[in-house]
Amino acid sequence: MDDTPVLVTGANGYLGSWLTRTLLEAGHTVHATVRDPDNTAKVGHLKEAAASAPGRLVLFAADLFDDGAFDEPMGGCGVVFHTASPFIINDIKDPDAELLQPALRGTENVLGSANRSDSVQRVVLTSSVVAIYGDAIDMHVAGVDAFDEQHWNTTSSLSHQPYNYSKVRAEKRAWEMADAQSRWRLVVINPGLVLGPSLTQASDSASLSTMRQFVDGTLKLGAPELEFGVVDVRDVAEAHRRAGLQDDVSGRHICSNRTVSLLEIGQILRAEFGARYPFPTRTLPKPLIWLVGPFSGLPRAFVSRNVGYPLAFDNRRIRQTLGMTFRPVEQTLCDHFRQMQADHRATR
């Protein structure tokens, strides 16, 4: 497949940009779909990456919601990397219309094009660890020490953790479509909380809003006792590349380095950048979070089922099957924050 073009959907997104660059640097011809190939602010960094790489970039306009929009860009491609997906976790008024239906329609449109494209041999889907679990308490209820690829999120719904619900429904729909045919193989990457530097200031990824909390005063008085499986965006891009181009790869792959708490993130950043930023120095009691959570975007059901519960992921499969190693979390966090400083998004 090394001489065959590959397709990246959402190529100018946070992850898609790094994946496109990684593939170009490996010498591949990349068909990259974006909403507007003429928008320099959105695609200029992709063109710059192609100019200094041995690979070749071909930009296509495609919208996730347009039937057949991926037929042309997918033509002649052996591998499809489907990274494009709606990522809205705040200010959701209609979870079905804003999250679930877009996630399902996007998956169906891209995989529908794969069914019509005779050249496609493999589809690599970007899912999430939230398709594996819904709330941290699920690990306790399941009686396990860590989540692995055998677990599925069965606790999220349109009324509770709707983003998580959209991810599990979209991944299950992808598996249904994959099982209904026999030409192409589906491989799924399930990343944790993706952090690390972006390739463009135009990025509106959720990781930026997550890190922004450490400088805008949100966590000044302390942090909720919440844990996340963190992974570097550059490592996620490399995992996708390997999943698409290595032989005999199949199934789901948890892509998470290690679990860190909000407090630990603050401690790592404070050790590197000092005390002039309002990094949290203590954990807030859960009753207080439960009381004030709804006023800061944390529903009480979320607080009850996540705050104070440990979270862990077993990443042995991705290390063994794809040979993945991960950057230290400290490097991921500090590189991310340095970029925020350079972009003037971490000013005080």
- Give the mean pLDDT per block of 10 residues along the chain (348 residues): 87 96 97 96 96 97 94 98 75 87 94 98 98 98 98 97 95 98 98 94 66 90 96 98 96 98 97 95 96 90 97 98 98 95 70
Distance CA 341, CA 346 (A): 5
pLDDT, residue 288, reads 96
pLDDT, residue 200, reads 84
Burial code (b: 16+ CB inside 10 Å, e: under 16) for 6-32 equals bbbbbbbbbbbbbbbbbbbebebbbbb
pLDDT, residue 49, reads 97
pLDDT, residue 74, reads 98
From the candidates 167, 172, 220, 286, which is the catalytic residue? 167
3-state DSSP call for residue 290?
helix
Cα dihedral 215, 221, 227, 229, rounded to 10, equals 10
Contacts of residue 295, Cβ cutoff 8 Å, sequence gap at least 6: none
Amino acid letter at 185? Answer: R
Is residue 286 annotated as a catalytic residue, yes or no? no
pLDDT, residue 208, reads 73
Distance CA 129, CA 127 (A): 7
3-state DSSP call for residue 22?
helix
- Please give the structure tokens belonging to residue 169: 């429904």
pLDDT, residue 170, reads 97
Q: Are 147 and 106 in contact (CB under 8 A)?
A: no
Q: Which of these CATH numbers, 3.40.50.720, 3.50.4.10, 3.90.79.10, 3.40.50.2000, describes 6-342?
A: 3.40.50.720
